[in-house]
Amino acid sequence: MFSKLASRPIAIGVAASLSMALAATTTTSNDVASCDSSSPVPVSKMLSTIQSSLSRIEATLGIPPPAPKYTPPSGASYNPTVPSVPPVTPHGIDIVLGAQWGDEGKGKLVDILSQTYDVCARLKSLELAGVKWEGRIKLSDRAHLVFDFHQEVDGKQESKLGRNKIGTTKKGIGPAYASKISRNGVRVGDLKDMEYFEERFRILCDYQMQANPGLKIDVEKELDYYRKISPYVQNMTTDTIEYTNQAYLAGKKILVEGANATMLDIDFGTYPFVTSSNPSIGSVLTGLGVSPRKLNGIYGTVKAYCTRVGEGPFPTELVDQPGSTGEFLRSNGYEFGTTTGRPRRCGWLDIPQMKFSTNINGFTSLNLTKLDVLTGLPELKIGIRYTLDGKPIDTMPANLKIMTSSKFKVEYEVLPGWTEDISTCTKFAELPPNAQKYVLRVQELIGVPIRWIGVGPNRLDVVDRGPGWDVVEQKRM
């Protein structure tokens, strides 16, 4: 909704670069003839020619050859060369997104990264953190307002669902989105013209009271309140689309923190047990009003295990029993809802879910959090595959009935645990061998470099494996 932001151009520009490289690449007459259907050639020669051409294209584009896949010998401990990950670039828009069901620890990474950015989007609790925010916060004039009656409606709707409740936080988000989609919502920018605001507000209140019998709204009292705060809000209101794009053109570094997480996305999540918005990569474009050409690093935040608050499917959930692994994770990881205080459901890391999230968001690097919470477990499990009636499922099922079927199973891979305290580790090589093995196996299964690793509860308890970013290691020494 406001604050600091940054990144460089990504995949959208690849096609143009490739066509330019093709035009710039010199080909011999033999090369052309080899691909001519009128001149039959052996398949092996054709493939060799294609590979040669691709190599020249890659060289023209400056693309390094792929690193060989690391395969540890049977029974050997992990001690591979850490693969390189993309550096943080001088300017543009970088995004931190939640890759699971929320509460992954995005804020910790944003807190550290934001020190080197010029603009940040969606930072909260600034005053409590001692940050001077006056004159620095920008509210979008297109942001929709959530009113008290939205929260009241939210609570009533949830109560009516009974056993089929969604698990909403009852903060009014869903009803506010319903107002937006119904085109009778009221936006922040409307406060600039109180006559117009009053007109829009009365229409919205009439609609809500008709749609929700028993709902009472003191319209005049509410309007009096908004007349008083209007000047204060207007001082912070701006066209954030223009602001963000001008910051980008001026070479500013922009950091964006997504709300919630991918598996709570209204379209891609475990519907209907989702939020009302799109907390995945698409919302960055529609929420900020920026072109995908301006995006650079997309950092997915994922816990070393998995949690979920509220209702909905959770394939790798550990059923709670006294002394169970799920109870161990909840206790060691302080897994209780930030907003509601509800105990979070805990389970093993879910690779099919993470691959699904990666497909949607196109993560360039991962931020693996709370690795330290796993310390002390004799063995660790990773959910690597879904099956239905014994047959593999290649993707995240859209039909939730499948995921709750007795025939739906998760296959696990078991890795050894560790007992050493990792909270003082500042480099990847300092982690216990089994902790390194776990991180590298997760990276291999998901197929995205793990750049940051959370090793403790404190702000700087982070191991960074990437180049050109040693803020954490310097401050901890």
> What are the residue numbers of the active site?
180
Q: How far is CA 90 from the centre of its chain?
A: 22
Q: How many CA atoms lie within 13 A of 216 on its CB side?
A: 2
Q: Is 364 annotated as a binding residue?
A: no
Q: Is 300 annotated as a binding residue?
A: no
Q: Is 213 annotated as a binding residue?
A: no
Q: Is 169 annotated as a binding residue?
A: yes
Q: Is 371 annotated as a binding residue?
A: yes
Q: Is 183 annotated as a binding residue?
A: yes
Q: Is 385 annotated as a binding residue?
A: no
Q: Is 340 annotated as a binding residue?
A: yes
The conformational region for residue 177 under phi > 0 = left, psi -120 to 50 = alpha, else beta, is: alpha
Q: Is 388 helix (H, G, I), strand (E, B) or coil?
A: strand
> Are 319 and 325 spatial neighbours (Cβ–Cβ below 8 Å)?
no
Tell me how far apart the alpha carbons of residues 161 and 192 are, in angstroms, rounded to a whole number. 38
Q: Is 260 annotated as a binding residue?
A: yes
Q: Is 456 annotated as a binding residue?
A: yes
Enter the tokens of residue 288: 């900020």
Q: Is 349 helix (H, G, I), strand (E, B) or coil?
A: strand
Tell me how far apart the alpha carbons of residues 394 and 413 are, in angstroms, rounded to a whole number. 17
> Are 255 and 109 spatial neighbours (Cβ–Cβ below 8 Å)?
no
Beta strands in 266-361 (DSSP E): 295-303, 306-308, 345-347, 349-350
Residue with tokens 């004039």: 141
Q: What is the DSSP string of 128-149?
A: TTT---TTT--EETTPBPPPHH
Tell me how far apart the alpha carbons of residues 82 and 59 are, in angstroms, rounded to a whole number. 24
The conformational region for residue 139 under phi > 0 = left, psi -120 to 50 = alpha, else beta, is: beta
State which amino acid sits at residue 468.
Answer: G
Q: Is 301 annotated as a binding residue?
A: no
Tell me how far apart the alpha carbons of residues 346 and 309 are, in angstroms, rounded to a whole number. 9
Q: Is 71 annotated as a binding residue?
A: no
Name which of 341, 258, 347 is nearest 295 in CA terms: 258
Q: Is 352 annotated as a binding residue?
A: no
Q: Are strands 295-303 and 365-369 parallel, antiparallel or unpaired?
A: parallel
How many CB atoms neighbour CB 270 within 10 A?
22
Q: Is 454 annotated as a binding residue?
A: yes
The sign one gets for the Cα dihedral 332, 335, 338, 343 is negative
Q: Is 256 annotated as a binding residue?
A: no
Tell me how far apart the alpha carbons of residues 113 and 96 are, in angstroms, rounded to a whole number. 10
- Burial class for 237, CB neighbours closer than 10 Å (0-12, 13-18, 19+): buried
State which amino acid sits at residue 43.
Answer: V
State which amino acid sits at residue 150.
Answer: H
Tell me how far apart the alpha carbons of residues 35 and 54 are, in angstroms, rounded to a whole number. 14
- Residues marked as binding for IMP? 169, 183, 260, 275, 342
- Residues marked as binding for substrate? 338-344
- Residues marked as binding? 169, 183, 260, 275, 338-344, 370-372, 454-456
- Residues marked as binding for GTP? 344, 370-372, 454-456
